[in-house]
Amino acid sequence: MLEKELISALELRSSLRLFDETDALRVFYGPGESSDAIGSQIAIDIFSDQAWITQWAPIPDKVLKSLVALLQQKLPERCRGIVLMDRSEVASEADSVPLDGEVREGKFVVKEFGIPYLVQMKNTKHPGLFLDHAPLRRWLTRTQKDKRVLNLFSYTGALSVAAGAGGASSVTTLDLSKPTIEWAKENWDQASLIRSKGDFIFGDVFDWLPRLKKKGLEYDTILCDPPSFSRTKTGAFSTGKDLARLHGLILPLLAKNGVLVTSINSENIPERAFLSEVENAARQTGTRLQWLGRVDLPESFPTPLDPKQRYLKGFYLRSV
């Protein structure tokens, strides 16, 4: 069953010519592409010549071995090294583990829409590039000429690199994790972007948004992509209860005609509820917003028709 589903998934990517523009791609998305109890708990991502398998429930050894053999047979050039990331335990601190072949050491470059990003297979919980945000990166590379950009919850700064490559006049990148801010700087430099156009802040969004406002700063594009939960020095954040508070701090920094791109990765929050929270913040801050479009999963994440399964949701909103 899994073999047939994987072949069908590869055929889909090939018919849509998805590898033509990137060498970082999800080639199998179990929740949408498998009807099998095991298969639906697996995703397979390709980064250049490496494969990153994610499991959301333990895969029996026998199935894992046949999956590895199948990948090596079907995508030999793209599966020289294969790692497994176990996400079956929510609070697990474990990194990815090498499964087979020559797994690359340290960071290496993948190219998406012609832009280089640093990823890593070993000693990490995540490769460093969120493949579900590829459409947003593409939008940024096309639209950010001369824009002042603020990237909140930046992680490794991939969205900042896309905005910088798109010609942004300045990009401020902010994250609460020191190693990821360092990774974001490396990403910026290796993409040959001008250092003086990039500002990197290691800090808490809730602490920094009022500080940026006090400095009189404003931005043409603000990117907001928080985790579902986080703990900060001053308290905890969750998309379940803090979206209005967060957007209430963001909107005063958005320039007239500026665009807020706000997204969440929370299956349990319906799109309508998310939008209501943003509307509340707009009302409280006296901001008038125009709807420009949706942030959504790309074609490489096929899902069943039930909208609840499209966990990534968000909006492009313009201040008028």
Binding interface with ligand SAM (CB under 6 A): 130, 133, 153-156, 158-159, 174-177, 180, 204-206, 225, 227, 230, 232, 237, 265
Q: Which is nearer to ligand SAM, 72 or 265 (CB)?
A: 265
Residue 244's identity, in one-letter code, is A
Distance spanning both ends of the chain, measured CA to CA: 52
Q: Which is nearer to ligand SAM, 34 or 266 (CB)?
A: 266
| Interatomic CA distance for residues 159 and 138, integer angstroms | 9
Q: Which is nearer to ligand SAM, 34 or 300 (CB)?
A: 300
Q: Which two tokens stand for residue 130?
A: 């969120």
CB of 163 to ligand SAM, least distance (A): 11
Q: Which is nearer to ligand SAM, 98 or 135 (CB)?
A: 135
- Residue 101, strand partner residues: 81
CB of 207 to ligand SAM, least distance (A): 8
Determine phi and psi for 124, rounding to 5 degrees.
-155, 160
Q: Which is nearer to ligand SAM, 14 or 232 (CB)?
A: 232
Give CA separation, 110 vs 133, 183, 241, in Å.
Answer: 15, 14, 36
CB of 200 to ligand SAM, least distance (A): 12
CB of 298 to ligand SAM, least distance (A): 13
CB of 158 to ligand SAM, least distance (A): 4
Residue 165 CB coordination number (10 Å) = 20
In the sheet where 24-29 sits, what is the strand order? 24-29, 42-47, 50-55, 81-86, 97-101
